[in-house]
């Protein structure tokens, strides 16, 4: 028997990988943002007014009454067949004709990220990420202990010149991860030219790409460029270099936990095997409801109202920033999605600013959190989808006071 304390009974059994997991002082500050007077630009939540709750309630009743087995029984790991057919047809309409056999339903895109980490990352293996990048991807992959290599971005998205230099220097990365449209956290969209360049580099250097696209349908201005998946298929006649991820979280509701992955044929079986070990399959009920509302045309009817709401909130935040921010502060002007990115004058620290902002009852996420290897302390992510236009105006005024 060990003489350790009761705590050490479990803590001594923790896997080595958990040593890279940590919560931060920032998380403690962000806990304060749940207070009612706090205006929070920190979260990443859809506006609850945008949930199509009545349609979802009616669809739930229909599937439970008419198709109880599809909704309540165990189902195939690959996903509910009618939903996969629907997704295949929808993606084909968006220039991504992938056989439904290569479309796997996942428990949100987040699960797809973890599964891909499990399949593709060995300890110390190089993984290319945008700088900054989606925090949830870093959290999913850190336990597999890759060597993250950050690539710079500008207003056109990932800098493909820096990528090519990295690929020339080697070693061969396991994959490149990109949030190609309205990136979380910066709001930046990769330009069409960069997308074409990226697909050309993928072919030249044998580079696998994970394209994470949860926000692509939420565009408020400008032209929609083709997805990397669409370009890959246009060039190679099949999905070859790109794994494409999307989700119902931003267009229906994140509580459904239904997303999907379009995979190159070579990876599909492995992906399904890994998913089987993780959760057998995504919630049958969630999938049946998502399919029921989708086949009824809800996505096309409902998305315009989300776009109208978020466009107004984005415009309000941009106007308030222009009116209130002191000289030397810069920000991105996203054409869609839920976030924009603030760059403070050199030497300003986002975490220190957060501490002062919380005193003024406003919160955001300091930008350094989104860098795989740290740095860029003078940055911040602001969410504009959740707070109302009144609270956005007031919150930006408070933030300006804190600055
Ligand atoms: C870039 C990105 N990928 C994945 C996810 C996870 O989405 P899901 O709810 O489908 O798991 C999010 C959620 O905010 C995200 O911003």
What is the secondary structure of 265-304 as a DSSP string?
HHHHHHHHHHHHHHHSSS-HHHHHHHHHHHHTTHHHHHHH
Question: Measured between alpha carbons, how far is 363 from 382 in angstroms, rounded to an integer?
Answer: 9
Mean confidence (pLDDT) of the chain: 94
Protein residue whose Cα sits closest to atom 16 of ligand 1 = 184
pLDDT at 2 over 60: no
The pLDDT assigned to 20 comes to 66
Indicate the SS3 state at residue 315.
helix
Nearest Cα neighbor of 350 from 332, 336, 370 is 370
Q: Where are the alpha helices (DSSP H) in 281-383?
A: 284-295, 298-324, 350-359
| Long-range contacts (CB closer than 8 Å, 24 or more residues apart) made by 66-73 | 67/288, 70/284, 70/288, 71/284, 71/285, 71/288, 71/289, 72/284, 72/285, 73/284
Helix (H) or strand (E) holding 262: strand 259-262
Is the CB of residue 212 below 6 angstroms from any atom belonging to ligand 1?
A: yes
Question: Measured between alpha carbons, how far is 43 from 242 in angstroms, rounded to an integer?
Answer: 29
CA 214 / ligand 1 centre spacing (Å): 6
Pocket test for ligand 1, best of 134, 246, 340 (most atoms within 8 A of CB): 134
Pocket test for ligand 1, best of 45, 47, 210, 249 (most atoms within 8 A of CB): 249
The stretch 154-160 carries a mean pLDDT of: 98
Pocket test for ligand 1, best of 106, 247, 253 (most atoms within 8 A of CB): 247
The stretch 327-338 carries a mean pLDDT of: 97
pLDDT at 116 over 90: yes
Q: Is 309 left (phi over 0), alpha (psi -120 to 50) or beta?
A: alpha
The pLDDT assigned to 137 comes to 96
Nearest Cα neighbor of 243 from 340, 401, 104, 142 is 104
Tokens, residue 108? 């949100």
Percent of the chain at pLDDT > 70 equals 96
Indicate the SS3 state at residue 27.
helix
CA 179 / ligand 1 centre spacing (Å): 10
Pocket test for ligand 1, best of 114, 184, 186, 248 (most atoms within 8 A of CB): 184
Is the CB of residue 177 below 6 angstroms from any atom belonging to ligand 1?
A: no
Residue 258 alpha carbon, nearest atom of ligand 1: 10
Tokens, residue 75? 């189902």
Specify the pTM: 0.96
The stretch 283-291 carries a mean pLDDT of: 98
Is the CB of residue 186 below 6 angstroms from any atom belonging to ligand 1?
A: no
Is the CB of residue 132 below 6 angstroms from any atom belonging to ligand 1?
A: no
Banded pLDDT at 25 (limits 50, 70, 90): low
pLDDT at 30 over 90: no
The pLDDT assigned to 24 comes to 60
pLDDT at 26 over 90: no
CA 114 / ligand 1 centre spacing (Å): 12
Q: How far apart are the first and last CA of the chain?
A: 56
pLDDT at 202 over 60: yes
């Amino acid at each position: 028997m060990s003489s350790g304390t009761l705590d050490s009974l479990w803590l001594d059994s923790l896997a080595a990988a958990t040593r890279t997991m940590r919560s931060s002082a920032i998380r403690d500050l962000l806990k304060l943002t749940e207070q009612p007077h706090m205006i929070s630009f920190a979260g990443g939540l859809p506006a609850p007014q945008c949930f199509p709750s009545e349609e979802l309630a009616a669809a739930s009743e229909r599937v439970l009454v008419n198709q109880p087995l599809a909704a309540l029984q165990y189902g195939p790991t690959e996903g509910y067949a009618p939903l996969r057919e629907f997704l295949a047809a929808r993606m084909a309409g968006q220039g991504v004709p992938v056989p439904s056999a290569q479309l796997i339903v996942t428990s949100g895109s987040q699960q797809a990220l973890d599964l891909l980490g499990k399949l593709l990352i060995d300890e110390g293996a190089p993984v290319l990420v945008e700088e900054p990048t989606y925090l949830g991807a870093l959290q999913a992959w850190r336990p597999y202990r890759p060597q993250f290599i950050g690539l710079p971005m500008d207003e056109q998205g990932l800098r493909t010149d820096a990528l090519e230099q990295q690929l020339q220097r080697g070693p061969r990365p396991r994959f490149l991860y990109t949030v190609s449209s309205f990136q979380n956290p910066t709001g930046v969209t990769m330009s069409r030219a960069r997308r074409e360049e990226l697909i050309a580099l993928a072919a030249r250097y044998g580079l696998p790409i994970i394209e994470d696209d949860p926000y692509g349908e939420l565009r408020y201005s400008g032209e929609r460029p083709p997805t990397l998946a669409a370009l890959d298929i246009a060039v190679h006649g099949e999905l070859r270099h790109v794994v494409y991820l999307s989700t119902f979280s931003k267009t229906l509701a994140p509580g459904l936990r239904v997303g999907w992955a379009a995979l190159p044929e070579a990876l599909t079986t492995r992906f399904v095997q890994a998913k089987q070990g993780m959760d057998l399959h995504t919630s049958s009920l969630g999938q049946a409801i998502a399919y029921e509302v989708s086949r009824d045309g809800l996505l096309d009817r409902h998305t315009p109202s989300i776009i109208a709401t978020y466009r107004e909130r984005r415009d309000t935040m941009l106007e308030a920033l222009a009116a209130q921010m002191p000289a030397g502060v810069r920000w991105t002007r996203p054409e869609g999605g839920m976030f924009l990115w603030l760059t403070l004058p050199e030497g300003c620290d986002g975490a220190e600013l957060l501490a002062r902002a919380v005193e003024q009852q406003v919160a955001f996420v300091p930008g350094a959190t989104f860098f795989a290897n740290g740095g860029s302390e003078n940055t911040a992510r602001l969410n504009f989808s959740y707070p109302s236009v009144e609270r956005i105006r007031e919150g930006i005024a408070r933030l300006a006071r804190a600055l």
